Structure 1
Amino acid sequence: MNRKLFFPLLLLFSLFSPILKAETITIAAGAGYKRPLMEIAEQYERKSGSHVDAVFGNMQQVISQAQMSGNVSIIFGDRTFFDHSPITFSNYYPVGKGTLVLAWRSGLHMKKITDIRERGITRVGIPDAKKAIYGRVAAEYLKKSGLSEAVGSKLLVVSTVPQVSAYLVSGEIDAGFINITDAIGIQDNIGGYLAADPSLYTPIHIQAGVVKGFETQAQVKGFLQFLKETECAAILRKYGL
């Protein structure tokens, strides 16, 4: 090889070799868990030197994306949703328990969830029950609590938990059903929140499902091991999981 070309090529390779060596893992989750998972991903990247790509949306979107791309190795969500999805999982790892809450905008003060029946509460946000975990359990809660008929005309159905949260922060809705994780994330920008009676909706077991075919990959094993570490547990506790 021409020596004049060899050294520039060697320099070019050395500049790009860290990129070539870096490994990437792709995870996906319901949008309501974006905050804790992004913190965990950032910690993992710092410690391992590997990169984490993350996909968030309602669970229907997440499952579709995983199917179409073929790159998603770990999906975070409710085990019940996994059991009815078209994706085959090799194994599952417990992450935490989900909690449904009713949050309300700044300027309001609610003492109990039944206050959403009051005339002053005109718009109540709820994720789509067909697409999102918390939409499903919120609908279940409203039915079992006897609130469905009283607030049915007030409901504003949106795609994801963060969309409900965004409307609460902007004041476009008076109250909304979201998960405690998102409520903690926006608590400085809303009036407050109350946990729904857990006996009135199906328990939400948040798990990390490993998509079949990825279970033997070193990066997947490394990330799953990282989930068990103290710093990850602290992040999950911070967000109510």
Structure 2
Amino acid sequence: MTRIHTLVASMGLSLACSMALAGEITVSAASSLSNAFKEVAQGFEAQYPGSKVLLNFAASGALLQQLAKGAPVDVLASADQETLDQAAKQGLIQPASRRDFARNTLVLVVPAGSKLAPKSLAELAQPAYGKVAIGNPASVPVGRYTQDALEAARLWPVVSAKAVNTLNVRQSLDYVARGEVDAGFVYATDARQMADKVKVAFTVPLDSAIRYPIAATSAAANPREAKSFIDYVLSPAGQAILARYGFQKP
């Protein structure tokens, strides 16, 4: 093979690799979106043949730390506004691409076989309730929502003393499902995923709605595909998938 042929072949291989990677994006999403976004990704890939969505789930705060340290992420979807506010301040997302795409509610769950049936936050202060699973407020949005609710009820000091801090909302759900704690704060959508192992005691009142934002990252390797994914999440098809998992429209 001549030098020119070798060069042309090399250029052709590089172009083929570039084209193959053009449809691949990495989406970092809050743990509570795990089940829904797996189906959303499948729907997106079906609508855009040749596309590939790589999913990364963790607590929103952990996702922000990963992004800040240079993790290759194209789209960031959080369970709270604060995380994306911080991402915007650090220049990690494209502000114009930011959209709210879903709402959720905070609930208190207990093991399915539990004889305890609290009807209010005040009951958690009673001696009958020992360990309570609460997401770490420093990095887990559900923990911040929980802290806000308990502080508003002037119960944070007594209930936080019983807290088993978790790394994400799914860990709180698992602890309750296994009966390792007496109760736990999770999202309504998470409680649905283990309806056979946990039961919702009541919906926790909050001063503001739980709204999920999504945005393309500033360092997105495939900004066009990132925008297409966000558009799909907001489309009737994407919203229908989210609704099946209990998420409400933004």
TM-score range, shorter chain: 0.7 to 0.9
Determine if contact 1:22/1:51 at 8 Å carries over to the other structure: no
Whether 1:84 and 2:91 are equivalent positions in the alignment is: no
Aligned with residue 136 of structure 2, among 108, 128, 131: 128
Distance (whole Å) between structure 2 residues aligned to residue 197 and residue 144 of structure 1: 10
Whether 1:48 and 2:53 are equivalent positions in the alignment is: no
Distance (whole Å) between structure 2 residues aligned to residue 180 and residue 140 of structure 1: 17
Change in CA separation of 1:139 and 1:21 when aligned onto 2, cut-off 3 Å: closer
When structure 1 is superposed on structure 2, of 133-142 and 38-47 the one drifting more is: 38-47
For the aligned residue pairs, the C-alpha RMSD in angstroms reads 2.7
Change in CA separation of 1:125 and 1:70 when aligned onto 2, cut-off 3 Å: closer
Give every structure 1 segment of 4 or more consecutive aligned residues whose post-TM-superposition deviation is greater than 4 Å.
none
- Name the TM-score, length of structure 2 as normaliser: 0.80
In the alignment, what sits opposite 2:107?
A: 101
Determine if contact 2:61/2:83 at 8 Å carries over to the other structure: no
User: Aligned ranges for residues 12-91 of structure 1 at < 5 Å?
Assistant: 20=20, 23-49=23-49, 50-77=51-78, 78-85=80-87, 86-90=90-94, 91=96
Aligned with residue 228 of structure 1, among 230, 234, 237: 234
Distance (whole Å) between structure 1 residues aligned to residue 31 and residue 150 of structure 2: 22
The one-letter code matched in structure 1 to 2:28 is A
Aligned with residue 195 of structure 2, among 174, 179, 187: 187
Q: CA deviation at 1:218?
A: 2.5
Q: CA deviation at 1:194?
A: 2.0
Distance (whole Å) between structure 1 residues aligned to residue 212 and residue 189 of structure 2: 12
Aligned with residue 159 of structure 2, among 142, 151, 154: 151
Distance (whole Å) between structure 2 residues aligned to residue 48 and residue 234 of structure 1: 18
Q: CA deviation at 1:21?
A: 6.3
- Structure 1 residues 146-199: Cα deviation after superposition (integer angstroms, max 9, x where no partner): 222332332111111011011111111111011222112222221224211122
Q: Any idea what SS the aligned residue of 1:165 has?
A: helix
Q: Any idea what SS the aligned residue of 1:188 has?
A: coil
Distance (whole Å) between structure 2 residues aligned to residue 21 and residue 206 of structure 1: 28
How many equivalent residue pairs?
A: 228
Distance (whole Å) between structure 2 residues aligned to residue 150 and residue 65 of structure 1: 33
Distance (whole Å) between structure 1 residues aligned to residue 111 and residue 187 of structure 2: 15
Determine if contact 1:105/1:171 at 8 Å carries over to the other structure: yes
- 5+ long unaligned stretches in structure 2: 2-12
Determine if contact 2:119/2:201 at 8 Å carries over to the other structure: no
The one-letter code matched in structure 1 to 2:234 is K
The alignment-based identity, stated in percent, is 21
Q: CA deviation at 1:51?
A: 1.1
Distance (whole Å) between structure 2 residues aligned to residue 134 and residue 215 of structure 1: 30
Whether 1:207 and 2:197 are equivalent positions in the alignment is: no
Distance (whole Å) between structure 2 residues aligned to residue 94 and residue 218 of structure 1: 19
Distance (whole Å) between structure 1 residues aligned to residue 127 and residue 145 of structure 2: 24
Q: CA deviation at 1:63?
A: 1.1
- Name the TM-score, length of structure 1 as normaliser: 0.83
The one-letter code matched in structure 2 to 1:106 is A
- 5+ long unaligned stretches in structure 1: 2-12
Whether 1:113 and 2:120 are equivalent positions in the alignment is: yes
Determine if contact 1:103/1:192 at 8 Å carries over to the other structure: yes
Q: CA deviation at 1:216?
A: 7.4
Change in CA separation of 1:215 and 1:209 when aligned onto 2, cut-off 3 Å: farther
Distance (whole Å) between structure 2 residues aligned to residue 59 and residue 152 of structure 1: 21
Q: Any idea what SS the aligned residue of 2:76 has?
A: strand
